[in-house]
Structure 1
């Protein structure tokens, strides 16, 4: 019987959208540092930083946004259970006791009561009410289908939250390490500037250096020192940002992050997978597909509303004026039979609802298509940015090597009296700028790699693994 009922389900059936994906990523083919291998689901481990991996492990347990997303999944699943209950039999039990007194001048004046019948008496009643909507045209089944799809959408939304939180954590962490490197560069150059200033002052005292040389050395030191406050403020902000992601109070992770600073590296080749696999990996695409499924099923609910609802109803009662009679066989009564609810005139409500649901279905299809196109663009842009960041880092590294050689030559020439201190100052300024740019270029390379991994949609799986532990 159940198979026969399901064949009467009205409304459109959902079919997964078909998108023609590019065969390969053009950016991966031209870069030489990306392959079509499977995307690493634990890509943060590729930086070879144990602290970063530890933070990610703690994030999936402690992040408040991720916990809130998990609660939304529970809420959606509860809504699905509520929708499913509409298609199951409903049985209610009712019991009551009343102590009543009839008025002799009221209703009793219209009838002839039994001789010596008391006006005051007790009434005991016990009954069962049952109903079952047969759902011949699938209205309830479509509602359950829509709610099941909404649950899937909530699950994928949680995956998206996990991916975003992990990527944000990695970005903040890598920027923190980059800022620490820039601080170390500034302090190292500040120490060099202090040494140079002392050297110039000693030479000035011996009549070798000029007042101009002393002023240049002092200005160089002040310029280097002025970069530190902003960098230190950025460092503190990033420490707090990481703490917030792990639901920790401000500066709670400061000591831990300071003690675990390590040198980072990026993989020589980054596996990016195939474009066709992106559709099943990106949580925002999966969420958009589930939303389209829900909109399609809700259209079916609106179509089924035009058809009659057939229900089976029954009632069984036991009542009497004393407890003993209330549960005896003569005191029993029952009713049983089908009921049909057929909509005849709804003032346009059903037509308007169907138009609304069909429009929402078309909008969901457009949203899905736009999500897919945006995902492809995100990956291509991220590949381009990563490739350019790698080339920029390599060029800046060559410049820094040249600046170091220039500073060594200028310092040696000044000590020998061949050049004035301005040459040393210019060389130091160039090296400081180059080393700062190299630290920034390394950070940009690492963060662009994180953006690429995020665009590829990998990494949210760890949240599911943590939830099942």
Structure 2
């Protein structure tokens, strides 16, 4: 009997569900204004050093490996696996999936069981006395059975809610991917800056040795009577000036090592031994595939997130519209009730109840209309946000391409400047020894050399940094399945 009643309830639920409709607009992916090809900056003058060229090939999914620096690649892999921000993003995905389960549960009947016992006594003057004792003595009441409740989703309120929850899952997944791209880009950025700082420190110390040699030479010439105290003071000032540049660079090196330690989930100083050795700044490949503008909408997580957010906002309109219509809830109970435990379960003690309940909003002071208008406005906002996100991504890639080519041209000019400054310093030192120029010329030329060398090192880093920014702007770095798997498994 119990099974047949439950089967009948479920059958009725299914019948109502099949005859229902889904209110609200269906989601459609909006169009985007992306062009067919990127605008390529032109290089007017011939170059002595070939530039890295961009092309329309497929964007590298693991772009960090193209820099040819195993230690940098290792740090990025460790950041993927251990970064705490990525762990938080993974938990947000888990939470959105759990929220979806709670919403989807409304699609199915809720079935419960109960078993109750009470010691009671009815009033002899009351309206009902289920014991039949006319309130003369106490009695036991045993009650057990099953109950079922289900809302017939006639207008698609539940279906739209599940659709919205699915879209919200995609929102958190795209947030996770966006965080992954950001963390990987930040790790590469800090590593390149670390190598730049170390190489500037190396150049500074080399110039310190040159300045110290010039000071010794000036003091010797003073002892020989061919130099003045002014020249010795100028040489001493140069040494002190170069010495003053070293502590900030050492501090910056320490800060960057700690930043990398944090990104890979380690304590301060954990990577000091590993990263203290000076190495060259990692350089990008000769060819840089950048894909096509139309592929941005499929690759960049922020665009995909904006699309999912628009999808959720669209589904929310259907939920709001369904609240204008009546709700039909089917409920039923089946069980046994007896005053003696020994009688419980016999056919004579069975009971059941089954029937629909209808609720219709008649007057709520305009609340449903206000909710609907709010949801429609949010959908329009989400649509505008999508268009803005696409346009901003397009600008970001265009700026990164322009910056990459501009930094390469600047790097070539600085190479020529350093070569000329090195020749000028040798010449100035020789002329000073010969007595044809004073020490001020040597001082001026060496300061110019140090400035140009430091600028060249930073320019080398800037070329690599803008390439990292370009890969980030293109949305590269999350497509590889092992990457997201590693992040999702992060405790």
TM-score range, shorter chain: over 0.9
Matched, 1:203 2:221: yes
Alignment of 1:279-428 (within 5 A): 279-428=297-446
Q: Residue 95 of structure 1 contacts residue 125 of structure 1 at CA under 8 Å; is this kept in 2? A: yes
Q: Residue 195 of structure 2 contacts residue 278 of structure 2 at CA under 8 Å; is this kept in 1? A: no
Aligned to 1:5: 18
After superposition, the C-alpha distances for 1:40-63 in whole angstroms (9 at most, x for unaligned) are 111111221111100110101111
Greater CA drift, 389-398 or 317-326: 317-326
Aligned to 1:37: 57
Q: Secondary structure at the match of 1:41?
A: coil
Q: Separation in 1 of the partners of 2:162 and 2:249?
A: 55
Greater CA drift, 195-204 or 377-386: 195-204
Aligned to 2:88: 68
User: Which among 241, 255, 273 is matched to residue 237 of structure 1?
Assistant: 255
Residue 100 of structure 1 deviates from its aligned partner by 2.1
Q: Residue 204 of structure 1 contacts residue 211 of structure 1 at CA under 8 Å; is this kept in 2? A: yes
Q: Structure 2 unaligned segments of length 5 or more: list them.
A: 1-13, 44-50
Residue 447 of structure 1 deviates from its aligned partner by 1.1
Aligned to 1:87: 107
After superposition, the C-alpha distances for 1:371-415 in whole angstroms (9 at most, x for unaligned) are 111100111111111111110011001100111111122222233
Residue 150 of structure 1 deviates from its aligned partner by 0.4
Aligned to 1:24: 37
**4+ aligned runs moved over 6 Å, structure 1:** 1-4, 29-32, 108-112
After superposition, the C-alpha distances for 1:20-40 in whole angstroms (9 at most, x for unaligned) are 321100036779821111111
Q: Separation in 2 of the partners of 1:29 and 1:209?
A: 53
Matched, 1:433 2:471: no
Aligned to 2:137: 119
Number of paired residues? 467
Q: Separation in 2 of the partners of 1:352 and 1:204?
A: 90
Residue 121 of structure 1 deviates from its aligned partner by 2.0
Q: Separation in 2 of the partners of 1:224 and 1:71?
A: 50
User: Which among 173, 177, 198 is matched to residue 159 of structure 1?
Assistant: 177
Q: Residue 334 of structure 2 contacts residue 350 of structure 2 at CA under 8 Å; is this kept in 1? A: yes
Greater CA drift, 314-323 or 341-350: 341-350
Aligned to 1:177: 195
Q: Secondary structure at the match of 1:209?
A: coil
Q: Separation in 1 of the partners of 2:79 and 2:467?
A: 20
Residue 261 of structure 1 deviates from its aligned partner by 3.1
Residue 4 of structure 1 deviates from its aligned partner by 7.6
Q: Against the structure 1 CA distance between its residues 245 and 428, is the aligned structure 2 distance closer, same or farther, given a 3 Å change threshold?
A: same
Aligned to 1:14: 27
After superposition, the C-alpha distances for 1:219-249 in whole angstroms (9 at most, x for unaligned) are 1111111111221121111111111212222
Q: Secondary structure at the match of 1:23?
A: coil
Q: Structure 1 unaligned segments of length 5 or more: list them.
A: none
Greater CA drift, 316-325 or 417-426: 417-426
Q: Residue 102 of structure 1 contacts residue 108 of structure 1 at CA under 8 Å; is this kept in 2? A: no
Matched, 1:250 2:232: no
Q: Secondary structure at the match of 1:391?
A: helix
Q: Separation in 1 of the partners of 2:132 and 2:293?
A: 87
Q: Against the structure 1 CA distance between its residues 85 and 109, is the aligned structure 2 distance closer, same or farther, given a 3 Å change threshold?
A: closer
Q: Separation in 2 of the partners of 1:111 and 1:293?
A: 55
Greater CA drift, 320-329 or 146-155: 320-329
Residue 91 of structure 1 deviates from its aligned partner by 0.7
Q: Against the structure 1 CA distance between its residues 74 and 12, is the aligned structure 2 distance closer, same or farther, given a 3 Å change threshold?
A: same
Q: Against the structure 1 CA distance between its residues 157 and 113, is the aligned structure 2 distance closer, same or farther, given a 3 Å change threshold?
A: closer
Q: Separation in 1 of the partners of 2:281 and 2:346?
A: 87
After superposition, the C-alpha distances for 1:321-350 in whole angstroms (9 at most, x for unaligned) are 111112211000101122222222222111
Q: Separation in 2 of the partners of 1:107 and 1:356?
A: 51
Q: Residue 103 of structure 1 contacts residue 119 of structure 1 at CA under 8 Å; is this kept in 2? A: no
Residue 112 of structure 1 deviates from its aligned partner by 11
TM-score under structure 2 length normalisation: 0.90
Q: Residue 91 of structure 1 contacts residue 131 of structure 1 at CA under 8 Å; is this kept in 2? A: yes
Matched, 1:228 2:246: yes
Q: Separation in 2 of the partners of 1:461 and 1:336?
A: 53
